[in-house]
Amino acid sequence: MDARELLGIQFRRGHDLLEATIADCPPALLSHQFAGGTINPIAVIYAHALLSEDALVTRAVGDGQTVFAREGWSERLGFAEAAAFQAADWRDRAIDMPAFHDYAASVYRATGDRLAAASDETLRRNVGRNEPMTAIEFLAQIGVLHVAEHWGEIAALKGVLGARGLAF
């Protein structure tokens, strides 16, 4: 097994866990905001995870164009761009979950396709901004962990709100 195969397996597992955790989440939980809290609602965290993966994978092994831009998701999702960083107004946004589920399928497919097609040279190139980091390191340390981090965050929030947090 090489790095691209391992990363593909890790991303697929993260996607499966994220989707299983969000699947039974009722609308009231998806949009719940804690009074005085600073954490985003579950739907916003989900949107952030998807938009970020699109941007991060594009940066590491993509062709320079996000799925968001290539497939024209802006109008359907109500976001100006796929961005790794959340803007201050995200907390108050209404998230169109069916549209984001469709976008998730496109992002997940593109992640798998891009990893499978990435050359050894692409995987070894530096994509770090503040420190040297190969595409492999970037995807393992930031991409895969980012999905897992937000899956766990959503599961924990569901549990705090009285729902079953983990799907197992």
Contacts of 114 (CB under 8 A, 6+ apart): 57, 58, 61, 62
Fold of the domain built from segment(s) 3-160: Four Helix Bundle (Hemerythrin (Met), subunit A) (1.20.120)
Q: What is the largest CA-CA distance in the chain?
A: 49
Reading the block at residue 159, the tokens are: 């549990």
Return d(Cα 165, Cα 147) in angstroms, integer: 16
**Would you state the pLDDT for residue 115?**
96
Domain locations along the chain: 3-160
Share of the chain above pLDDT 90, in %: 80
Decide: 104 and 97 in contact? Cβ < 8 Å.
no
Return d(Cα 140, Cα 147) in angstroms, integer: 11
Q: Which amino acid is at 93?
A: R
Reading the block at residue 95, the tokens are: 């998230």
Asked whether residue 160 carries a pLDDT value surpassing 60, the answer given is yes
Q: Crossing angle, helix 3-23 and helix 42-61, to 10 degrees?
A: 160
Return d(Cα 101, Cα 91) in angstroms, integer: 19
pLDDT tens-digit map of 80-123? 776 656 666 777 888 999 999 999 999 999 999 999 999 999 99
**Residue of 7, 88, 4, 105 whose CA lies nearest to 54:** 105
Return d(Cα 59, Cα 113) in angstroms, integer: 14
Which pTM does this prediction carry?
0.94
**Would you state the pLDDT for residue 82?**
66
